[in-house]
Amino acid sequence: MCRRGTTRTSAEAYYQNKLKLALIGQSLFGQEVYTNLRKQGHKVVGVFTVPDKDGKADPLAVVAEKEGTPVFKFPRWRVKGKPIPEVVEAYKAVGAELNVMPFCSQFIPMNVIGFPKHGSIIYHPSVLPRHRGASAINWTLIEGDKKAGFSIFWADDGLDTGPILLQKECPVEPNDTVDTLYNRFLFPEGIKAMVEAVQLIADGKAPKIPQSEEGASYEGIQKKSNAKVNMAQPAEVIHNWIRGHDKVPGAWVVIDGKPVTLYSSSMLSGSLPAGQPIEVEGASHPGLIAKSGLILFGSDGKALQVKNLQFEDRKMIPASKYFSSDEAASLDLTDDEKKMAEEIRAIWKGILSNVPVIDDTTDFFKSGAASMDVVRLVEEVKQKCGGVQLQNEDVYMATSFQSFIQMFVRRLRGEDQEEELVIDYVTKDVNNMTVKMPYQCFINGNFEDAEDGKTYSTVNPTDGSVICKVSYASVADVDRAVSAAKEAFDNGPWGKMNPRDRGRLLYRLADLMEEHQEELATIETIDSGAVYTLALKTHVGMSIQTFRYFAGWCDKIQVCVCVAQRYPSISVCAIVIPWNYPLMMLAWKSAACLAAGNTLVLKPAQVTPLTALKFAELTVKAGIPNGVINIVPGSGGLVGQRMSDHPDIRKLGFTGSTPIGKQIMKSCAVSNLKKVSLELGGKSPLIIFSDCDMDKAVRMGMSSVYFNKGENCIAAGRLFVEESIHDEYIRRVVEEIKKMKTGDPLDRSTDHGPQNHKAHLDKLVEYCELGVKEGATLVYGGRQVDRQGFFMEPTVFTDVEDHMFIAKEESFGPVMVVSKFKDGDVDGVLSRANNTEFGLASGVFTRDINKAMYVSERLEAGTVFVNTYNKTDVAAPFGGFKQSGFGKDLGEEALHEYLRTKAVMVEY
C-alpha cells in the first residue's frame, strides 16, 4: 500500500522490473516461494498444483486460495506423452511472463515450459550436472559426497539438463540425513535463491550457463527391493547407504532371519559399548544390541550405530529395545486370556461402532474415540474382565488394540512393572549421598548421545573441577527433538488426553521431584554454585510448587460458550533457560507450557545442564509420554539459534540477556513469526526512605543484592538511600557483610557461595575495577576471594553518580551500588530510578503507606516490592517492562503465553 502523498513516479519505480508469474509446484517449499515472491512485488497470475488429497489442499494451494490467486489443480498435464489441450489452454490464459517451478512432481509439456516470454526455471536439489533425477538428495548421501547443494536451471523436458541460472553449495556433515540437509540448507537457502533468480530474470541479468557433461550422473528412484544393505563394505559406506535411504524406501538387512529396515544411522565414536550379540546376514561380525542402539560392523572393522528399527508389519521400535520388543510381541495367551481378549474386542466394537472390524492394528483414537470413550472403555474392562485396575492414561499409552491387549494381560499377570529407563549415569558420592546424573540428550523419551558424538565439560564452580562430560547437541539433534515433539503433539496421547488426566501426570511429576529434592538440590549446588539450603528451599522447592500450581490449572483453562471462544494449544514450544536458577527457570516456563497441552524442546544453559537432565529422568517415571519433553544441552549460538529458526516451533520462551533476546526475537520473526516471550536484563532500583524500618531495610536490602550470590534477575541493581540515613545504612550493611560466611555451598552454615563460572567472575572483577576508575567509592570487597574456586567478595560502592557505567549496567553479581538522594525529594528519586531502559523489578522501603503507594504506582517495573524483596509467588505473574522484555511467567497470565485465542462464531 502506497503512503498518502507518494508520487506516481516513485510507485512506478517500485513496480519496475517485476514479472507476472505462474507457479507450478507444490508443498511447503512452494508455499514459501510464492509468499516471498509476492513480498518482492511480483504478481502471481496463476498457481498450478496437485489435487487435494483426502480432502486436504496442498500448502501452496491453501495460501494462494486465501489471497485470491487463481489456483488450478490438474491431476496430470499429459496423457500418453501428449499434452491435454484444455489443460494447456487454461494455463496459457493466465498470461504468465515466467514459469517458476519450486517443487514440481508432475511432467510439464514443453509447449508450457517454453510458452512464457522468459521461459521456465526449476529448482533441483543437487549441484548439477551431478545427481540428475528425482532422488538427488538421497544419492548425494549414498555416494558419500562431501558437498551438497541445489541448482536453479532453465527447465527442459524433465531430464534436468537445461542451462544453469544459479547454484549454491554447503558441506555435508558426517551424520547428515536427508532431513537435516533439507532443513539446514536446501529449504531456507533454496527459497531465497528462487526469489533471487526471478529478480535476476526481471532485471535482465540472469545467466544461461550450459551444463557440462563432465561429472554428470543420473540415478533413478530406489525401490525397496534394491535397498538391501551390502554388509561386506566399509562402515562409512554402509552408513551412507542407510542415511541416504532414510524415510523412503528405507535400507534393510536380515537380522535374526527377519528383514528389518534401519533408520537414523551415525558413525560410532569413542569406545565400543557393551551389548548383546545378534546375527546380521552378510556381516563378517555379529551386530550388538546396546543401550545406544544397534551396532553394526563394516568390512574395515569400524562400527556404526542405528537408533531405530522397523519390522515387516511396519511397527517401529528403538533398536536398543529389540530383544524386549520381540519378547513382548510374542506374548502367548492362555485360553482364559484369549477369552478375555475377545470380550475386550467386543467392548471396543461397542464403542467404535463405525469400525467394521476391530483388528490388531485398530487405533482407538484414530477411529474416532473421545475422552468420554476412554472412561467407558476403562470402566467396562474393569467390570467385565476380572476387576483389573486400569487408569485413563493406560488407554492413551496403548492406543492400538494389540498394544492394549498386551498391556491388559501383563497387568492381569502382575508383569506390568515399568521397564527401567536405560540411562548411562555419571555417579558421584557427595553431600552424604550418591547422586546419579544423566548427561546425554533426552529425545523422544530416551537418553542418547549427540548425533555427532560431541561432548563438553560441565564444571563445579566451588573448585573448578570437571563434574562430567555432557552431550553437545547439534542442529540435527534439535531437528530430531522438534520432530519428536511435533509427532507427540499431532499423533501422540498428550493432545488427546483429558486435561484432568494431564494434570494428574503433572502432580505425579511434582511428587517425584519432591521425593528426589535432596538429590536435585545437590546436583544444583555442584553444577551452579547455589548454596545448598537455598537450592533446597528455592531452586527446587519453588519448582515443585510451580508444577503443582499449573497441574491444578489443566482442567480450568476456559472455554467461553457465549461466543464459542476457545484457547487451543500452540503445538511445539521451545524454551531456553539461564544458568542462575537452572531448575526453577525450567519449571516456571515448562509447567505452564505443559499444562496448556503443548509439547516442548528445552535448552538448558550450557554451563548448568545437569538438573534439567535429571528432571527429564523423572518425567519418564511420572508417565509423561515420549516426545512431550525433549532436552538438548549445548551452545546458544547453535542450539538456541536453530530453535529460533525452526519452522515447526511455534512459540519460544527465553530468559537471559537483552542483546540475546533481541537476536532471538529477530530470528523468530524472520523464520515463521513464532510467538515469543522474553525475560531479559534488569537494573532494578530499590528506594530506601528515612522513615523505613532500618533493621528490615538493611536485612532485605542485603538480600536484594546478595541473594543467590547476586546472580538474580530481579536483584536490586541500584539502591537509592535518603541522605539523612545514608551513612548509618552503609555502616550497618558493612557490619553484616563481615559476618557472612563465604565458602563451600554444601556447608549448611555457608551464606555466600561461588559465582557460576569463571568467565562471569572475571567480568565482575572488571565491573568493580571500572567503578573505581569512574570515581565511585569502593567501601568493601571488589575482588576475587583468595581461595580455590570462583568466589567473589560481597561488594559495596557508594557515591555512585547517574552517568557512571555501574549506575546503568547490571552486574549480575554480589555488587551493591548505592546512591544518595536529598531528604524529601520523592519525585526526584523516582525520576532517577526510572531513568533506565530496564524495568523488571523495583522496591521501596517506608512506613508511610501513602508514600509507598505513590511510589509503587510510578515505578516503571513489572514487579514492585514494598517493605520486602525477592518475594515471588507461583500465583503472581512475573515479567518486565521496556528492555527487560515482555510476557509473563507464573500465575494465570503465564498460561496465555502458551495458548492461542480463537473465536468461533456459530449461527444456527
- Domain-ending residue, one of 169, 203, 237: 203
Q: Residue 838 domain-assigned?
A: yes
Q: Residue 884 domain-assigned?
A: no
Q: Residue 453 domain-assigned?
A: yes
Question: Cα separation of 705 and 869, whole Å?
Answer: 10
Do 722 and 751 belong together in one domain?
Answer: yes
Q: For residue 675, give the CATH number of its domain.
A: 3.40.605.10
pLDDT of residue 530: 97
**Cβ neighbours of residue 377 closer than 8 Å, sequence gap 6 or more:** 347, 348, 351, 364, 369, 395
Question: Cα separation of 411 and 404, whole Å?
Answer: 10
Alpha helices (H) in 203-304, listed in sequence order:
235-244
DSSP helix, strand, coil percent of the chain (3-state; round to 5): 40, 20, 40
Is 791 one of the annotated binding-site residues? no
Do 35 and 155 belong together in one domain?
Answer: yes
From the list 713, 768, 860, 896, the catalytic residue is 713
Question: Cα separation of 179 and 606, whole Å?
Answer: 26
Do 313 and 356 belong together in one domain?
Answer: no
Q: Is the pLDDT of residue 325 over 60?
A: no
Q: Is position 679 annotated as part of the catalytic site?
A: yes
Is 810 one of the annotated binding-site residues? yes
Q: Of 526, 653, 643, which Cα lies nearest the Cα of 589? A: 653
Q: Residue 544 domain-assigned?
A: no
Q: Residue 629 domain-assigned?
A: yes
Model confidence at 9, pLDDT cuts 50, 70, 90, reads very low
3-state DSSP call for residue 374? helix
Per the omega criterion (within 30 degrees of 0), is the bond before 129 cis? Answer: yes
Q: Are 191 and 36 in contact (CB under 8 A)?
A: yes
The residue among 184 and 716 whose pLDDT is bigger is 716
Which triple of cell numbers denotes residue 78?
Answer: 499429459
Over the stretch 19-67, which tens digit does the pLDDT of each residue have? 999 999 998 899 999 999 999 999 999 999 999 875 678 889 999 999 9
Is 272 one of the annotated binding-site residues? no
- Torsion, Cα 415 417 418 422, to 10 degrees, reads -90
Is 625 one of the annotated binding-site residues? no
Q: Is the pLDDT of residue 702 over 60?
A: yes
Low-confidence winner among 256-270, 382-396, 777-791 (lowest mean pLDDT): 382-396
Do 440 and 383 belong together in one domain?
Answer: no
CA distances from 849 to 692, 833, 844 (A): 11, 19, 11
* Beta bridge partner(s), residue 71: 47
Alpha helices (H) in 277-370, listed in sequence order:
322-329, 335-351
* Beta bridge partner(s), residue 797: 778, 817
Model confidence at 319, pLDDT cuts 50, 70, 90, reads confident
Do 727 and 868 belong together in one domain?
Answer: yes
Is 763 one of the annotated binding-site residues? yes
Is 275 one of the annotated binding-site residues? no
From the list 42, 118, 124, 239, the catalytic residue is 124
Supply the DSSP string of 57-116, one letter for each residue: --HHHHHHHHTT--EE--S-SEETTEE-HHHHHHHHTT--SEEEESS--SPPPHHHHT-S
Q: For residue 729, give the CATH number of its domain.
A: 3.40.309.10
Is 577 one of the annotated binding-site residues? yes
pTM: 0.65
Do 310 and 361 belong together in one domain?
Answer: no
Angle between helices 610-622 and 499-515 (to 10 degrees): 130
Do 375 and 465 belong together in one domain?
Answer: no
Do 646 and 693 belong together in one domain?
Answer: no
Over the stretch 329-347, which tens digit does the pLDDT of each residue have? 446 788 888 888 899 999 9
Is 160 one of the annotated binding-site residues? yes
879 Cα distance to chain centroid: 21
Domain count, the chain: 5
**Cβ neighbours of residue 727 closer than 8 Å, sequence gap 6 or more:** none
Is 843 one of the annotated binding-site residues? no
- Domain-ending residue, one of 413, 448, 470: 413
Q: Residue 512 domain-assigned?
A: no
Q: Are 898 and 599 in contact (CB under 8 A)?
A: no
From the list 97, 519, 679, 711, the catalytic residue is 679
Do 187 and 265 belong together in one domain?
Answer: no
Q: Of 671, 752, 743, which Cα lies nearest the Cα of 705? A: 752
Q: Residue 199 domain-assigned?
A: yes
Low-confidence winner among 272-286, 403-417, 509-523, 613-627 (lowest mean pLDDT): 403-417
- Domain-ending residue, one of 625, 658, 679: 679
Do 290 and 367 belong together in one domain?
Answer: no
Angle between helices 27-39 and 187-202 (to 10 degrees): 40
pLDDT of residue 55: 67
Q: For residue 258, give the CATH number of its domain.
A: 3.10.25.10
Is 604 one of the annotated binding-site residues? yes
Q: Residue 43 domain-assigned?
A: yes
**Cβ neighbours of residue 583 closer than 8 Å, sequence gap 6 or more:** 520, 524, 539, 540, 543, 611, 612, 615
Over the stretch 767-789, which tens digit does the pLDDT of each residue have? 999 999 999 999 999 999 999 99
3-state DSSP call for residue 707? helix
Question: Cα separation of 50 and 52, whole Å?
Answer: 7
Full domain range(s) for residue 26: 20-203
Do 617 and 706 belong together in one domain?
Answer: no
Do 690 and 667 belong together in one domain?
Answer: no
Residue 518: Cβ-neighbour burial (10 angstroms; 0-12, 13-18, 19+): middle
Is 139 one of the annotated binding-site residues? no
